[in-house]
Every structure is written in structure tokens, then in C-alpha cells.
Structure 1
Amino acid sequence: MTDPSTQDVLTRKNGRVGHISLNRPKALHALTLDMCHAMSNALTVWSEDDEVEAIIIDHHDGRGFCAGGDIAFLRNSALNDGGVSGRKFFHDEYQLNHQLFTYPKPVVAFMDGITMGGGVGISQPAKFRVATENTRFAMPETGIGLFPDVGGGWYLSRLGGRLGQFLALTGARLDGAEALWTGLATHYVPSEMLEDIKARIIERPGRIAGILSEPVGTPPKARIEENALKIAKHFASDRYEDILESLEAAAEEGDDWAAKERDTLGTKSPQTCKVALRQLAESARLTDFADNMRMEYRIASRVLTRPDFAEGVRAVIVDKTGDPKWDPATPEGVTEELLDQIFAPLPEEEEWKPL
């Protein structure tokens, strides 16, 4: 096994299982470019290794599975190199996402803890996605002027009841039971049982489905289910202004939930919210995950160097003032022409390509 004190990703074979553990606990295992490369390289080797039947992805230590990508690195790129190194990060991270989506062997992702952004990108492609009571699943990019990437358009657009649009716009955090109820997790296991479950998978990798489906207790009630009808109603439109108007009307009639979500959206980047709605609408019409990642790379290439990203990261993560000055400042200021520019194809030599 690789020395855990020196490696941000631990890769090893346990019996007939390839095991990847994220090991950057001080950063909640946020992904760096080197981590993406290490994971991709191991997956490539194991895909051709007849001794490896399945893959486990988890984290080695700490309270997060994976909090996202290296946001400080991306902001530095946006401010200092015109987005060149940031685009390289997105390009290779998306290749890892696609590699996992098309992987020929079953992958089990243990989403025990914070699972956001880049953590969603490496867990959602897995055939088996295991949540626990510690899971906190979110795509919070509207709060920092980015967008729900790493395949987020594909996964969120395929949730029922406009749940994907709700999650993309508000950045709402789901616990493990809610992740299971929405279908973002396939199984729920109490965290105290994880090591036993992993050991049994390593012992019998051909029986993953059976091992995960054996009785492990009843998960708590999914709280989001109580608001499912409201979500479907108020987030029904792909026009952002319609969603805001629907929430405002309900809030004026005394609906506290609608008022809370209206206020939440008031803190988000109008540009990101409109990008996310178009992204999910277009993703829903696609039939090839590679096309989705190509679209998301086009968006990332443009959004990275637009004002909202560096400003959002400053306000939320760097200075922690919570006072981003969005540009454009209003939904009305985010025109269709601007969205067309963000979604437009790149020159052929700059387009994203899978491995």
C-alpha cells in the first residue's frame, strides 16, 4: 500500500478489488489535477487486469468523502493566467468523470461525508453509490459563480419532479436518506458497518449487489419528500424569472418554505442560475454522456474567467464575507445572447475529448 503520509490518493489491490482512497483530509479530499491523474491511471491499469473484478472508491480519513475540486487553484488561474491551467484541470477532471461513467467493471463509491462538486463527479458514475448518515450531498456552485459541472447536468436533469433544477439552483444539501430517496444514492448503510461491508466486497466482489442489499436497518425518513410537491410546482419552468415569481407569489401568501427558497436564490449568481437551467434542459435531450461533458467543458471554459467566479470564491471562501457582487447583478441582465456565448462550440482543437 502507498505510504498514506505522502500521497493524496492511495491506490492498491485488495484481493480482486482495485481500491482508491482519497487522502487529502485537511482539504476535505478536494481534488487536485494530480489526484485526478492518479485515479485515472489506476483505473486504466485495472481495466486491463483480469485479476481485478471491481473497484472501490472511498476516503482514507476525515469527515469528507470529497468536497469538490481545488477551488483556490481555479480562482488563481482565473485571475493570473487567463484560465489556462484551470481549463486544463477541467479537461482532465472531465476525462476522469467520463472514464468512470464508461468503466467496464462495477464501481462502488462510498459517499460517507461531504460529497459535493468534484465528489459528485467521481461518485455518480458508479454503479453502486452508498450513502450513510454522514452524507451531505450538494452541488453548491450557484453560490460561487460556477455551475453544476462534472456531469451534473446529466445526473440532475434525470431526476424526477424537478428535483435536479431545485438542487442546481439552491445548492441544497441532502443527507444520506434524502440522497437515497432521490436516487442519487443506490444504497444506505450506517457508517459503523462500512468497514465490514468493504471487507465482504473484497472477499466476494461478484456479490456486491447482494451484500449491499442485505438488511442493514431502515434509513431515516427523507425530509425532502415533504416538500416534493412544492419543488415540482415552483421549479417547473426552465425560465429563471418564472421560478422567482412563483416563489414570490407563494411567499406573499404566507408560505415560509417558499420565502426561504426565494431568499436563498437571492444570494446566488443570476448568471449561474440561468446557465444551470439551460444546461439541465440541454442535458436532458442528450443520449451520449460524452456530449454532455463536451457541453460542460464549453461552459467551464467561459464561466471560469467571467467576473462571477473569482468574485463568488472571494466572498464565500477567501474573505468569507458572504457579500458577492454579481455581474450581471440581476436575472434580467443575463441575456440570451450572453448564454449563447457561454454555450457556443469551441474551436475544434480546443474542444473536450474523452480519453
Structure 2
Amino acid sequence: MTAEGDVLFEVRGRLAHITLNRPRAINALTHDMVAAIGENLRAWALDDSITTVLLTGNGARGLCAGGDVTQLHGRVAADDVASAVAFLRDEYLVNGLIARYPKPVVAIMNGFVLGGGIGLSGHASHRVVTDDSALGMPEVSIGLTPDVGGSWLLSRAPRELGTYLALTARTASAADAIELGLADTFVPTDRLPALVASLEELAADEAVAAVSAEPFRGAGASGRLTADASWVEPAFAHDTVAEILDALAASDVSSAAETADLIRTKSPTAVAVTLESLRRARELPSLEACFNQELRIMAHALAHPDFREGVRAQVIDKDRTPRWEPATLEEVSPSTVASFFEATDGARDPFPQAAAPR
């Protein structure tokens, strides 16, 4: 085993294993972790003795809570937005590598899988959820928007459930994650050791099929989002946040009004930009074009006051009372939203060969 501090790499037989190793931070990704993962993946792609790559996270709380926002915040607070954007660019390159990897990549999406965790696992060829999986893109809570290819995945989820997740920052259970297209297979937690062991000898398809289970059980049995689709779909099908909030207010379902109240607690600018991002992502020709769009958006979002304020309120002071600029959705103009999609000098497309956004 080769240990590089916060991420471990091991080859056992036919299997190459990546283990995220920051359990106290729910394996939040640093720039160095991203670089190390990319370096090893590129080497393994050329190693004929390796047939499968496995991604797991140490600790019981989850695979990955996302990118290390304290590291990003520190760079932005030091007026080094360019360095923060470079972190994201390198992360997207690894996400894209996983999506097009020439060998099966099996990601065990146990516990919390948020933000950057979706970027690593959501583009894998074999996405395994467990009894306690909770998948989500909570970026609007800190003034950012779903990235790492999350806008591509969520924009293509059925019945506007992806739009719902993006604007509320809520999470999806195992059953919902499969329904939304964020995961493929449910494996009970107690069968995970058997899965890992069998991957050393069997092809990924055989190993996963041997331990998968239907129907869901335990925490994985709750398909709350799917059950709510009857009121989520008509409300979140609108193309402006104002129309969505109006539709939720007009609904006779109590959960709809609660959802509208929840959306209003998020960064108004981030919510408006996120909705536009999802709508544009639906029209993009490839995942790589989506990464390019996401980096443009994030370059603006990292420089916006809401990112610093969101991290202060949620991570640093933890008072959970962010003071957004502007404070309400009604104050976010269409021109402001449009400006987030403009190219900046410091945000080079991670995939310049991909078609430009239309």
C-alpha cells in the first residue's frame, strides 16, 4: 500500500483501490488529493495487469462530503481566486477521466456523498449505494452552484427531481439516487466486504451482481423524493425561480410550502444561477462541455460575496444565519445571472476540445 496522507492507493491482484482517508472531515477533497488521484488513475489506465478500479472512503460517515471548502475559502480570502479556480479545474479533469475511463470504476457511495463526492463517484461505471447512502449537491447553501458534472446529472434526472435537489440542497436516499440516475445498484452494507473481496478476482459486473439486493431495505428503502414527484414535477418544471416559488405556494401540499421557505434561505444569487445552469446543461452536447460551463460559473461564484458569507455561516462561525447579497431572490436580475456564464481570463476550459455552450 502506498499512503499519500489523505488518500491511499493499493493494488491487490487485478484490483486497484483508491481510499479517501480523511474520515474526520468525511473525506473532503483537497487539491493535493485530487492531484494524487489523477496521477494514479492515469498510470493504472496503462497497466494491463489492472482490470478494475475501486473507490471507497474511510470512516462510517460517508464516502466524501465534497471539496474542502475551507481550503477554497482560504484561497479566496487571500484574494487568490485564480488558485481556487485552478483547484476546481484539476478536479473536473479527474471527474472527466473517471467518466471516460477505459476500465470499470466501482464507487461505493456509502453514507454522505456530497458535491465533489458526486464528482468522483457519480461518473463511475458502477455506482453502488448502500443502506445509509445520502447523495446531494448542497452548493446553494454556501453561495455556489452544483458543479463537478452535477449540473449534467441533475438536469437529466426524471420528473424535475434533479432541479428539486439542486435548489433545496436536500439529499437523496439509495432508492431515490437510483431513480434519479445518480447511482446504479443497491448493495446492503453488510455485503460490502464481500464485494471488495470479489473484485480482486471477478469482473466488475459479476462482482456487483453477486452481492446486489432488491428490494431495498433499511434506510435505503425510503424513496421520499420519488413519492413526492407528483407535486415536485409541475412546480419545478418552470424556468424561473419566481414561477417555481409561486407554484409551490399555490400547491395544497404542506411539503410544497415548506420547500419554498427552504429555497428562500439559500443564496438568492446561487439559486437563480443554478436553475439557469441546469436548463442550459440540458442543451449541452457532452459532459465535457458541461464541465467547461461549470468552471465559468464557479469562477464568478467564488469571487461573489455570498461564497465567503456562506462558508462563514455554515462552516466557520456555524451560526446558520448568512447575510446574502442581495438578500432576496426578487433582487437578482437576469443580467446578473447571465454574467455568471461569461468566460473569464482566469478560468481556462478544462476540456477545450468540447463544443462551446450554445
Per the normalisation by structure 1, the TM-score is 0.94
Q: What secondary structure sits across from 2:132 in the alignment?
A: coil
Deviations 1:107-163 (A, max 9, x none): 110001110000000001101100001111111111111110111111111111011
Contact 1:21 1:60 (C-alpha < 8 Å) held by counterparts = yes
Show the counterpart of 1:213: 209
Larger deviation, residues 231-240 vs 79-88: 79-88
SS of 1:275's equivalent?
Answer: helix
Is residue 352 of structure 1 aligned with residue 349 of structure 2? yes
**Counterpart in 2 of 1:149?**
147
- Cα distance in 1 between the residues matched to 2:291 and 2:347: 13
Work out the CA distance in 2 between the residues paired with 1:133 and 1:179: 12
Quote how far apart the aligned CAs of 1:103 are.
1.0
Equivalent position of 2:355 in the other structure: none
Secondary structure, in 3 states, of the residue corresponding to 1:7? Answer: coil
Residue 12 of structure 1: CA displacement? 1.5
* TM-superposed deviation, 1:301: 0.7
Separation of aligned partners in 1, 2:214 and 2:126: 18
> Displacement of 1:332 after TM fit?
2.2
Distance in 1 separating the partners of 2:348 and 2:343 = 8
Aligned to 2:245: 244
Correspondences of 1:1-355 after superposition (within 5 Å): 1-3=1-3, 7-204=5-202, 206=203, 208-214=204-210, 216-219=213-216, 220-250=221-251, 253=252, 255-347=253-345, 350-354=347-351
**Cα shift at 1:264:** 0.7
* Distance in 2 of aligned mates of 1:226 and 1:288: 30
Query: Quick one: distance in 2 between partners of 1:44 and 1:130?
Result: 23
Counterpart of 1:161 in 2: which secondary structure?
helix
Q: The residue matched to 1:13 in structure 2 has which SS?
A: strand
1:283–1:292 Cα contact (<8 Å) kept: yes
Contact 1:132 1:177 in 2 (8 A): no
Deviates more, 1:6-15 or 1:212-221: 212-221
Task: Tell me whether 40-49 or 78-87 shows the greater mean CA deviation.
Answer: 78-87
Relative distance call for 1:182 and 1:289 in structure 2 (3 A) is closer
RMSD: 1.5
Q: Distance in 2 between matches of 1:350 and 1:210?
A: 42
Counterparts of 1:350 and 1:301, CA distance in 2: 6
Residues 271 and 334, structure 1, Cα contact 8 Å, conserved in 2: yes
- Mapped to 2, the partners of 1:217 and 1:170 lie a distance apart of 29
- CA apart distance, 1:354: 3.8
List gaps (5 residues or longer) in structure 2: 353-358
1:169-203 per-residue CA deviation (whole Å, 9 max, x = no partner) reads: 00111122221232211000111110101111211
Deviation at residue 217 of structure 1 after TM alignment: 4.5
Contact kept? 1:165, 1:235, Cα under 8 Å: yes
Give, in whole Å, the separation in 2 of the partners of 1:45 and 1:211: 24
Work out the CA distance in 1 between the residues paired with 2:144 and 2:16.
33
Per the normalisation by structure 2, the TM-score is: 0.93
